């Protein structure tokens, strides 16, 4: 099995020389190609920090991160930009769609500089629009569509480049339960059909139950992990048990 994400002795401090806050502390783990992995832990545990480091948006203080076998610290700024564009996809909670562009143009935005033929662009757009159920709204503008549709547009935009690794930070945070279930269903399908590696931060057990494995972090350290071996329902219960064990996960779920 090809290793897609390799993290060794990863630490992160925020602050300056005089006032350091240690947020991640000696994390070590590996994620294989095609895994759908969740990251959970109490608020402030360092989940977003970890995801942003892995997504090459933030630099670690110590330690090594390899993505698809590449030590990302060894890439210069230009190489990193190319690497990000070619191999990585991101879905953040604030979808950052561009209001002046239609849904279709928002989705195609990451390929503006690509040399792919128009037929290929159209094919990818049509496929993703179908997958995410947004074919009917492609000519509309972000303010003319629902929050769930915006989230799916943002997801389609992050997938149009066919990333090898998808990073998602609380991607269902703004969705009602029906929209969240649909969205997760799409992600799970893509994970299978494209063998795409997905790393998703969430505080929501239902969302996490779609993963094959969930890593729990607390105070910037690895706390535990659980692996899904049977039904999603059963895994959901396990996630809840682990959240109770970890404590301090007391964010109220809107559902």
Ligand X SMILES: Nc1ncnc2c1ncn2[C@@H]1O[C@H](COP(=O)(O)OP(=O)(O)OP(=O)(O)O)[C@@H](O)[C@H]1O
Residues that bind ligand X (CB under 6 A): 14, 21, 23, 41, 43-49, 203
70 interacts with, out of ligand X, Mg ion, none, CB within 5 to 8 A per kind: none
Angle at 164 between CA 234 and CA 157, to 5 degrees: 90
8 interacts with, out of ligand X, Mg ion, none, CB within 5 to 8 A per kind: none
Quote the least distance from Cβ 170 to ligand X, whole Å.
7
Query: Cα 212 to chain center, whole Å?
Result: 14
247 interacts with, out of Mg ion, ligand X, none, CB within 5 to 8 A per kind: none
Torsion of CA 201, 203, 204, 207, to 10 degrees: 10
Question: Going by DSSP bridges, is the β-strand pair 197-201/165-169 parallel, antiparallel, or unpaired?
Answer: parallel
218 interacts with, out of ligand X, Mg ion, none, CB within 5 to 8 A per kind: none
Q: Are 45 and 95 in contact (CB under 8 A)?
A: no
Dist. CA 46–CA 50, nearest whole Å: 6
Quote the least distance from Cβ 112 to ligand X, whole Å.
30
Both structure tokens of 191: 């994970």
Quote the least distance from Cβ 44 to Mg ion, whole Å.
8
Which residues are at the interface with Mg ion (CB under 5 A)? 48
Nearer to ligand X, 142 or 220 (CB): 220
Nearer to ligand X, 14 or 162 (CB): 14
Nearer to Mg ion, 44 or 162 (CB): 44
Nearer to Mg ion, 48 or 212 (CB): 48
Contacts of 237 (CB under 8 A, 6+ apart): none
Quote the least distance from Cβ 43 to Mg ion, whole Å.
7
44 interacts with, out of Mg ion, ligand X, none, CB within 5 to 8 A per kind: ligand X
Quote the least distance from Cβ 47 to Mg ion, whole Å.
5
Nearer to Mg ion, 48 or 61 (CB): 48
DSSP code at position 116: -
- Cα separations in angstroms, 11 against 27, 70, 139, 172, 239: 7, 19, 45, 28, 26
């Amino acid at each position: 099995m090809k290793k897609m994400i390799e993290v060794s002795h990863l630490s992160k401090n925020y602050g300056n020389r005089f006032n350091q806050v240690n947020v991640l502390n000696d994390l070590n783990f590996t994620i294989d190609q095609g895994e759908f992995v969740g990251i959970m832990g109490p608020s402030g545990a360092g989940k977003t920090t970890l995801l942003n480091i892995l997504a090459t948006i933030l630099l670690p203080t110590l330690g090594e991160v390899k993505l698809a076998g590449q030590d990302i610290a060894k890439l210069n700024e230009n190489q990193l930009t190319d690497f990000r564009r070619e191999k990585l996809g991101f879905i953040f909670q604030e979808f950052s769609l561009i209001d002046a562009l239609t849904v279709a143009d928002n989705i195609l935005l990451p390929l503006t500089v690509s040399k792919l033929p128009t037929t290929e662009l159209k094919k990818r757009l049509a496929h993703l629009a179908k997958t995410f159920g947004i074919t009917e709204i492609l000519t509309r503008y972000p303010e003319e569509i629902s929050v769930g549709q915006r989230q799916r547009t943002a997801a389609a935009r992050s997938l149009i480049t066919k990333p090898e690794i998808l990073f998602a930070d609380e991607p269902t945070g703004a969705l009602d339960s029906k929209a969240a279930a649909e969205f997760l269903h799409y992600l799970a399908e893509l994970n299978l059909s494209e063998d795409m590696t997905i790393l998703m931060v969430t505080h929501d057990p239902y969302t996490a139950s779609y993963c094959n494995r969930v890593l729990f972090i607390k105070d910037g350290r690895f706390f535990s992990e659980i692996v899904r071996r049977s039904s999603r329902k059963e895994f959901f219960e396990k996630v809840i048990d682990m959240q109770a064990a970890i404590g301090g996960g007391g964010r109220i779920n809107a559902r």
